[in-house]
A and B are shown apart, each in its own frame.
Chain A
Amino acid sequence: NAGVTQTPKFQVLKTGQSMTLQCAQDMNHEYMSWYRQDPGMGLRLIHYSVGAGITDQGEVPNGYNVSRSTTEDFPLRLLSAAPSQTSVYFCASSYSPGGQPQHFGDGTRLSIL
């Protein structure tokens, strides 16, 4: 049982480049979300999805796009990377957002030069 799988684990980009962070879960969870973790800032919600075809913005959505074409996958796209997007990104999933424990991936460490 793989749980939540994030790829890649590490990535270095140049300013202006685009990239997609992959997230897949094999637990048939309806709810998926993306967070970024920055020093002293905790985990901040970027985008989330309550099911296939449905996405919504979190606390810090600017500069990121998401889509949810299947239950399993929830990719996060950076269309034009900026140094302010240097961070560690975590994907999470659960059956529902209400009180259900979130299962997190191991993160993608992204550096924008």
Chain B
Amino acid sequence: DQQVKQNSPSLSVQEGRISILNCDYTNSMFDYFLWYKKYPAEGPTFLISISSIKDKNEDGRFTVFLNKSAKHLSLHIVPSQPGDSAVYFCAASGRRDDKIIFGKGTRLHILP
């Protein structure tokens, strides 16, 4: 039973436009949500996070939005750049659970 779902396996976006990656979760006990970026043959690297007490967190070109009532979060990248082409993973954890659960990932292609 998937607790963290990324329903779009891939996404193509024109360079300079906005990329929106989505993530849904089922466990209402999750308190922290993180996004990771992964290039081929490398380990994932941390991108941005948000705690359940906030509904938005921004870091440069990256913004994460959290809708707790819908159990949905999204990552916005604007403007999209060629180096953003990678696989993006959504991850979640709770204060009372030491497990960190990842989604299946979304492959983002930035088109020239």
Chain A residues with CB under 8 Å of chain B are 4, 31, 33, 35, 40-45, 48, 50, 56, 58-59, 90, 92, 97-99, 101-107
Measured in the bound complex, the distance between the Cα atoms of B32 and A92 in whole Å is 17
Q: A43-B89, A44-B102 are in contact. Are A107 and B32 (CB under 8 A)?
A: no
Which residues from chain B contact A98 at a C-beta distance below 8 Å? 31-32, 93-95
Give min CB distance, A40 to chain B, whole Å: 6
Give min CB distance, B56 to chain A, whole Å: 16
Q: A48-B98, A97-B93 are in contact. Are A90 and B34 (CB under 8 A)?
A: no
Which residues from chain A contact B44 at a C-beta distance below 8 Å? 43, 90, 102, 104
Residue contacts A-B, CB under 8 angstroms, 27 given: A33-B100, A35-B102, A42-B89, A42-B102, A42-B103, A43-B105, A45-B99, A45-B100, A45-B101, A48-B100, A50-B98, A56-B98, A59-B99, A90-B43, A92-B43, A97-B97, A97-B99, A98-B94, A101-B34, A101-B46, A102-B44, A102-B91, A103-B46, A105-B43, A106-B42, A107-B42, A107-B43
B45 at the interface (CB under 8 A from A): yes
Measured in the bound complex, the distance between the Cα atoms of B97 and A33 in whole Å is 14
Number of residues on chain B facing chain A (CB within 8 A): 28
Which residues from chain B contact A92 at a C-beta distance below 8 Å? 43
Closest to A97 in B: B98
Chain B residues with CB under 8 Å of chain A are 6, 9, 31-32, 34, 36, 41-46, 49, 51, 89, 91, 93-95, 97-105
Give min CB distance, B101 to chain A, whole Å: 7
CB–CB A99/B104 < 8 A: no
Measured in the bound complex, the distance between the Cα atoms of B91 and A66 in whole Å is 23
Which residues from chain A contact B104 at a C-beta distance below 8 Å? 40-42
Which 6 interchain pairs have the tightest Cβ spacing? A104-B43, A99-B32, A101-B46, A42-B104, A43-B102, A97-B98
Give min CB distance, A110 to chain B, whole Å: 14
Give min CB distance, B99 to chain A, whole Å: 6
